[in-house]
Structure 1
Amino acid sequence: MASRPPYGTVSRRGLLLTAGASAFGLALAGTGAAGTPAYADTAADADPYATVRAQWAALVSGGAIDPADAVYTAALAALDSQAATVAAALDTTAARTRLFTDLPLGADSANVTASLTRLQTLALAYATPGTARSGDAALRQQVLDGMDFVVAQAYTTDLPRYGYGNWWDWQIGAPQALQDTANLLYPALGDARIAAYCAAIDHFVPDPTVIVQASGTSVSTGANRLDLCRVLIIRGALGADASKITTGVAAISPTLPFVTTGDGLYADGSFLQHTYIAYTGTYGAIWLGDVAKLMSALAGTSWQISDPQVDNVFFAATDAFAPVVYNGLMLDAVRGRAVSRATESGAADGLSLARTLATLAPAADPQLRARLNSTVKGWLQRTPTPLTSGSVASIALLDGILGDSSVPAAAEPVGHRLFPAMDRAVHRRKGWAASISMASDRIGHYETGGNENLRGWHTGSGMTQLHLDSDNTQYDDGFWPTVDPYRLPGTTASLLPLADGQGGAYAEPRPTTAWVGGATDGEYAAIGQDLQGPFSTLTGKKSWFCLDDAVVCLDAGITCADGTEVDTVVDNRNLHAGGTNALTVDGAHQPGTQGTRTYTGARWAAVEGVAGYVFPERATLTAVREPRTGSWHDINTGQSATPLTRDYLTLYVDHGVDPVDAHCSYVVLPGARAAQTAARAADRDRQQILANCRDQQGIHVPSLGLTAVNFFAAGTVGPITASAPACVLIREHRDGTATVCVADPARQATALTVTWHRPVRRVTARPDSLTGATTGRTLRLVFGDLTGLVGATQQTTVRLG
């Protein structure tokens, strides 16, 4: 098993749960509860299958809530409205060939899932105390008739196991909706219905380790495996079949260890799905959520998850998932195709993760439980989406944490997280965070598929998203359908026209370059990318040096022969509808009118309420202020075609058509005003650029005692020499010590020597990879084979001479 990184690690958890320690326990029969769910099963105390069903039903619906509590008012009203809309679309004619008038069956697999999902909405309205249709026997019968119809006419054992269309509908989407609905109506099912529903599920999902498609079978991995395990386990509880539950639980275990290739959780906190895509925020969150919910549903039974490697789930919660949430929003850098879904915002994905952590918390030891609850409460207090706008189930789980005065709200952490296995980085300081998205021969530029994310081509070209406390809806407010997809913030990209979804369904267009990653001491970082543009001849080098109050960005060697303009985008800010944030360039207040303006020899610029931008080598800066109109349908054909308009202010450096060895540099100062930016531009000690060329990029910041260099090729920059490509970050501390952080982002160094031309007395701490060290007038560190360390930072501590 891969070793675990030192950052924020957690100790072995006490994992054997009791029913009383589960997220909901057995308070489902209404004992002491203000509202009793319509599905309440009094047999739960004696029947382990009933225990699982009851605990799962509570996770799905919210359990025994008090409908008179005002916190549920909006959620109950929303559920009533959804149920009314669904009920109005029911086809109740005697000769019906479809369940809903707008969802024909027989050709589109998504309509099977959608039909069953709509029935689940009606079942929730029936089962939830306080809705207009709570306990409505007529509604219950409509849902039962609807499930009977779908199982007899569409989700039928007469079809091949892959059905038609998308395998996901037959093996995950449809069976999950069917069994969740059946679970909510369990007391009314009867043996014949249970047998029919279970037979249909068994036909399509006999084995959670296998995915069946028209093209053949494959082994399920990551989130898909957990979704299939969930199907088997809940189906086992529905049909009182212990073998199904046992099989489902056993199939979870292979997803718990860290992986070193392919789909799943990595020791550095990365999560990949579809082999090459950073997917912590969606597929990863599904994996974590399924594990958490199944742990809760199986608690107190003989099937409870007791694999010792489930400890990695708790590590994931704190070190893989929490670091990619900012103020309650899941970062777009790890959401893949989900950024193109109007119905799945970063805030929605963040709230879903908060619910997952709250579900996990009762299974953790007291210290970790307190940490998880504190993290969740902080997110809930800072998210732009109020808890009351969520589902009844979310409110039931999270409101107690939010209102518990004994749970402190955790502030946003300060520090740096580098995820080498998925080419992502997150830098956090007080009031802001920056996320960086890159691509390599290991990670794709973007993923399209299912007609989603049709214009995400340049996501991996160094997209740098600046998240501010003062603007927490920047990327959730219609950003993706309206932003210029050729000028994503932070990217260097060719304006070569690309086709929607270019590369094909679920394509992962990857560069052939390997040098992508960096080194970090947990507070600051040096990050680099050997850039190749997607579907383009563009090449170049990009570096980000993440400091205490800024990110220094260097671009060099920018060369392209596409016959089109190439730009480096300093920022592309969504000013929202009607935004008029002032732009100041070199002390001059710029017009707020729409249009394009160019500033030759610019030293600095500032956007009111956003950031300051310093150009250490001066720059020819282009500023575009414009309204941009688009629709979600433009980037995802399953979404609304209603046009949206947002105002943008874009700052970029135009490298011209077919540039050769072009370069630029800029410093982003989040939250800085014009006066602060001007002062920073005048302070040359704060941004000493040691190198900015194709082979090396580096900086020196005397006030921080920091020197950092990305060696794309061996050489000497300032006081540092590297014998092979590497990343080196050195910090001198006031106590007379220094830390030397070294990494091999390309994972190709079979031997590496790093020399720091600085007097050093002795080495006080060293990594296992260090095979030799010489001190004295210079420090010479000799590393062995680094190729197997997956780009991880190797940190050495020294006493200065």
Structure 2
Amino acid sequence: MGRSSRRSFLRLGGVVAAAGAVGRADAAPVRTEDFAGAFGLLRRRWREVTAGAPFDPAAEPYRTRLAGLGRAAARYRDTMAPDDRWLWPGLAFPSFNATPDRLRVMARAYVLPGTGLSGDPGLAAAVAAGVDHYRRQVYAEGAEPAGNWWNWEIGVPRRLLDAALLIGPHFGGTPARSLGGAVDHFVPEDRLHRYQGTSTGANRVDLCLVTLLRAVLGADPGKAALAASALSPVFRYVRDGDGLYRDGSFIQHAYVPYQGGYGAVLLAGVATLLAVLRGSPWEITDPERRNVFDSVERSFAPVVHDGCCLDLVRGRGIARASYGDHARGRRIAAAILLLGESAPAADRRRWQGMVKGWAVRDTARPMPAAAAAEGDLALHARLAALLADPAVPAADEPAGHRLLPRAARAVHRRPGWCAGLSMASHRVGHYEHGNGENPRGWHTGSGMLYWWAEGHGDQYSDHFWPTVDPGRLPGTTVSTRRPADGAGGSWGDTCPPARWVGGATDGGYATVGQHLYGFQSTLEAFKSWIFLDDAVVCLGAGITAGDGVPVETVVDNRRTAAPLSVAFDRKWAHISGHGGYVVLGGGPLRVRRDRRTGRGATRSYATLWLDHGVDPWNAGYVYLLLPGASRAGTRARAADPGWVRVLANTAARQGVHLPSLGITAVNFWRPGTAGGLTASGSCAVLVREHGDGTATLTVADPREDLEELTLTWDRPVRAVLHAHPAAVVVTTGATPVITYRNLSARAGASHPITLALGPPP
């Protein structure tokens, strides 16, 4: 787990101790009444942030949604029937979610205008009685916290405290003190004294929010100070475990890339805490909060495509409701807009343009309409204002490549298409399952290659996960031996021993590789992807297994009923409106059309795969993925054998040369030579000759174990125009030699140098 340093922990403890120094002989006593105005401010801010941004309650869609909220609240009020077994018949205790949610709906109807129950004392009294009844029967001080810890420390107290604060003075006296005591029992202050266990990342942010709400309920300045100061470890970059990484990765549950789940919770929680505490005695001023601001474009924007959060960073959440990727995209957008209110003006305007671009391009689940349908009136109001503001231009989707080495993830964008790659390593699990969710996500880390063509933003949204064949996920190489549901450790504890997982990128192109160990099989393989302008070159080598069943590489498994064309020799195929595939080695291409049913939905699929046979030994493949290509374009690429030259495709090296692009890309699984490049150690190398007499040579150490690397290039170089600090020696001449040092300490990052080329030999 990621931990703050001892110095930072002591600093944190000192702040908390100073803020809570009540009644000490050497300190002036802190009087609650001295903070009455501050807590009044926090109550108002909490209502503003959580109950909705300014909007006209008489305008649509607010009028209809508010009226519906009022009707629901009235129904809950009228059907409330407190009993030792329930608060509402049919919702037997503990009812961790439904009962607190209903109380919060009632509280929102009380505080929001236009509900028909705004400010209704009878409704507020019903909320107060309901919260106290639930507290006595379920969330009682001293009760045994059975089941998932999250319900007792985050889920239940957050909802109960929210409802209590929204009804204001209607919840006070003994009920307020009793609820405060219960929260103190289940969330003692020492939960925030150490940044470890379940008090890290998004969970730490949630615990800080609960502590702040508890502070406001009891007007407790010490707890308010603790809630603010205990957030500091979240701001710091971590090198292992949960949290934000300098390369843009975000990890939760120790092994799971999670921007689209816990990461979104962290971002929203930090944005809320910054907004609520702004201008108060506990305003968060930690300079390292800048890292969270930077994460908007470093960690979150790379994994949002046209408003859709890519499933490769959503953990077990992919198995939940359809269009969950778009729902998470909206949540990230909402968090960014709220965070912008606490960020520097330049950041805020840039983020607004980015979110506006997402909202404009998300036609699969238009953001404003979806926000209104979900009752998120605050997001709808912010989006409506943003879309109507001509001073904020909608930003285009940025072209380029983002490699997240620590998360074993890559995202590639070009005009009209986007691709995402999901791998597993010794630090990133094959998949996450838990709480009965996602029991068949076994192969999502086996090189799953997602891709979106223009107009297909719902490709993995519309019932994809319940209907797709989980043994044939696109891009993966797998043993056809089917694992049991929920196989392997839960919560992402399914890491293979692979260390060479990652690659090199110059920001525009990339070479990425995965030493693949099949999930719960004897399969071993070496997979590489070279990401280009209109294609992804996919290579596999050393494919070996002994499970007694066939091994397959799934070229694609497309959720579509569009026409599928296949060449007579099965060397290429094309799906109308989507793109094409060209097999250069390891064929022939196998194809299947079928309709699959899951969770009450039936969807059509086009599956394309390469069969490596039963118990293959050192098998391989080479194919091209051509997103957005026409049928004629696919056929033409198949007829052009010189477009890509395969330099090597073995368990020692995989590499290609693209003459028209001036690109040479080699993944050195072991030291050796390919395409005029010789490496003394395992590494990834990407060379791009620009056509103006210069070249960019980029190197990375995916294994993170190279103290020194020597790279020789059989291409004359006359000068070094820019050298990365890791390249400590660069010689020019007919055969330049570059020596890198301490790559092992650089977390798999890419290191570019720019060279002036001499005349070719």
1:130 and 2:114 matched: yes
Change (3 A) 1:569 1:86: farther
After TM superposition, give the deviation of residue 785 of structure 1 in Å.
2.6
Q: Which residue of the other structure, out of 656, 675, 678, is the alignment partner of 2:613?
A: 656
Q: Is the 8 A contact 1:763 1:799 kept in 2?
A: yes
Q: Tell me the amino acid that sits aligned with residue 98 of structure 1.
A: W
Matched, 1:336 2:320: no
Report matched runs for 1:599-614 at 5 Å: 601-614=569-582
**How far 1:121 moved relative to its partner?**
1.7
1:165-204 matches, within 5 Å, as 165-204=147-186
Q: Does 1:583 align with 2:530?
A: no
Contact 1:741 1:795 in 2 (8 A): yes
Residues 554-565 of structure 1: pairs in structure 2 closer than 5 A: 554-565=539-550
The 8 Å contact of residues 57 and 63 in structure 1, kept in 2 or not, is answered as no
**Cα displacement (A) at 1:77:** 5.6
The letter for the 2-side match of 1:582 is P
AA aligned to 2:574 is A
Note if contact 1:208-1:248 (Cα within 8 Å) is conserved in structure 2: no
**How far apart are residue 80 of structure 1 and its match?**
5.0
Kindly state the Cα deviation for residue 201 of structure 1 after the two structures are TM-superposed: 1.2
Counterpart secondary structure, 1:755? strand
Q: Check conservation: 2:424, 2:445, Cα contact below 8 A.
A: yes
* CA distance, structure 1, for counterparts of residue 665 and residue 75 of structure 2: 59
CA distance in 2, matches of 1:432, 1:218: 40
- Which amino acid in 2 is paired with 1:262? G
Contact kept? 1:750, 1:787, Cα under 8 Å: yes
Tell me how far apart the structure 2 counterparts of residues 418 and 63 of structure 1 sit (CA, whole Å). Answer: 36
Shift of 1:783: 1.2
Match of 2:384 in 1: 399
Aligned-pair CA distance for 1:768: 1.6
| TM-superposed deviation, 1:385 | 2.2
Q: Is the 8 A contact 2:516 2:526 kept in 1?
A: yes
C-alpha deviation, 1:208, in angstroms: 6.4
The 5-angstrom pairing of residues 53-64 of structure 1 reads 53-64=43-54
Instruction: Give the TM-score, by structure 1 length.
Output: 0.87
What is the aligned residue count? 720
Deviations 1:599-621 (A, max 9, x none): xx422111001111111236211
Distance (Å, rounded) in 1 between the aligned partners of 2:694 and 2:474: 37
The answer to whether the Cα contact below 8 Å between 2:323 and 2:462 also exists between their aligned partners in 1 is: no
Conserved? CA contact 2:731–2:737, under 8 Å: yes
Q: Distance in 2 between the 1:45 and 1:153 partners? A: 33
Pick which of 63-72 and 240-249 moved more.
63-72
- 2:41 maps to 51
Aligned to 1:253: 232
Q: Aligned partners of 1:472, 1:566: CA distance in 2, in Å?
A: 31
Say if 2:591 is the partner of 1:623. yes
Pair 1:425 & 2:414 matched: no
Query: CA contact under 8 A between 1:518 and 1:527: conserved in structure 2?
Result: yes
- Aligned residues of 1:65 and 1:129 also touching (Cα < 8 A): no
Find the aligned partners of 2:212 and 2:414 in 1 and give their Cα distance. 43
**What CA deviation, in whole Å up to 9, does each residue of 1:235-286 have, x standing for no partner?**
2122211101101111100111111111100000000011111111111111
Counterpart residue number, 2:89: 101
1:92 matches 2:81: yes
2:584·2:621 contact (CA, 8 Å) conserved in 1? no
1:330-369 matches, cutoff 5 A: 330-342=309-321, 345-369=324-348
How far apart are the structure 2 equivalents of 1:86 and 1:647?
A: 42
- For structure 1, the residue ranges without an aligned partner over 5 or more in a row are 3-42, 589-600, 632-642
Aligned counterpart, 2:22? none
**Cα distance change on mapping 1:605 and 1:618 into 2, 3 Å:** farther
What are the residue-to-residue correspondences of 1:750-765 with 2, within 5 Å?
A: 750-765=707-722
Rounded to whole Å, the distance in 1 between the matches of 2:718 and 2:588 is: 46
Describe how 1:260-339 pairs up with structure 2 within 5 A. Answer: 260-339=239-318
Question: Cα distance, 1:126 vs. partner?
Answer: 2.6
Task: Report whether the alignment pairs 1:679 with 2:658.
Answer: no
Superposed, 1:430-449 pairs within 5 Å as 430-449=415-434
AA of the residue aligned to 1:182: A
- Pair 1:44–1:126, CA change in 2 (3 A): farther
Q: Which amino acid aligns with 1:92?
A: A
What is the deviation of 1:461?
Answer: 0.2
Residue 672 of structure 2 is aligned to residue 715 of structure 1:
yes
Contact kept in structure 2, 1:208 and 1:228, CA below 8 Å: no
| Alpha-carbon shift at residue 667 of structure 1 (Å) | 0.7
Tell me if 1:769 matches 2:749: no
TM-score (norm 2): 0.91
Q: Map residues 444-483 of structure 1 onto 2, 5 A cutoff.
A: 444-483=429-468
The question of whether the paired residues in 2 share the 8 Å contact of 1:210 and 1:218 is answered with: no
The CA distance in 2 between the partners of 1:609 and 1:84, in whole Å, is 49
SS in structure 2 opposite 1:486? coil
Any conservation in 2 of the 1:45–1:51 contact (CA below 8 Å)?
no
Is the CA contact 1:489–1:572 (under 8 Å) kept in the aligned structure 2? yes
- TM-superposition CA deviations, 1:606-662 (whole Å, max 9, x none): 10011111112362111111111112xxxxxxxxxxx11111111111111211111
In 1, distance between residues paired with 2:68 and 2:710?
63
Q: Distance in 1 between matches of 2:344 and 2:652?
A: 49
How much does 1:672 deviate?
Answer: 0.8
- C-alpha distance after superposition, 1:525-568 (max 9, x if no partner): 00000000111111001000000111111011111111122111
Please name the residue that 2:484 is paired with.
Answer: 499
> 2:158 is aligned with what amino acid?
Q
1:749 equivalent to 2:706? Answer yes
Q: Offset of 1:96 from its aligned partner?
A: 4.2
Q: Answer yes or no: is the 8 Å Cα contact 1:695–1:711 preserved in 2.
A: yes
Report the Cα distance in structure 2 between the residues aligned to 1:184 and 1:136, rounded to whole angstroms.
12
Partner of 2:617: helix, strand, or coil? coil
For residues 194-250 of structure 1, the C-alpha deviation after alignment (integer angstroms, 9 at most, x for no partner) is: 2122111111112264599xxxx9461111111101111122122211101101111
Match of 1:205 in 2: 187
Distance in 2, Cα, partners of 1:278 & 1:186? 39
The answer to whether the 8 A contact 1:211-1:218 is kept is no
Q: Does 1:65 align with 2:55?
A: yes
Q: Deviations over 1:78-125 (max 9, x none)?
A: 53565467557x5515x442113233225xxxx224321221122222
Quote the residue 1:121 is aligned against. 105
For 1:289 and 1:617, the matched residues in 2 are separated by 47
More moved, 304-313 vs 496-505: 496-505
SS of structure 2 residue aligned to 1:244: helix
- CA–CA distance in 1 between the matches of 2:726 and 2:580? 40
Alignment of 1:216-235 (within 5 A): 218=197, 220-235=199-214
Q: CA deviation at 1:481?
A: 0.7
| Root-mean-square deviation (Å) | 2.1
* Residue 14 of structure 1: aligned partner: none
Q: Is the 8 A contact 1:64 1:129 kept in 2?
A: no
Once residues 90 and 678 of structure 2 are traced to their aligned partners in structure 1, the CA distance between those partners, rounded to angstroms, is: 67
CA distance in 1, matches of 2:66, 2:544: 57
SS in 1 for 2:107: helix
Output one character per residue of 1:124-167: Cα deviation in whole Å (capped at 9) or x when no partner.
2232222244344433332221101011110000214xx10000
Q: 1:520 to 1:768 in 2, by over 3 A?
A: same
- Which whole-Å CA distance do the structure 2 matches of 1:557 and 1:775 have between them? 36
In structure 2, what residue type is equivalent to 1:679? A
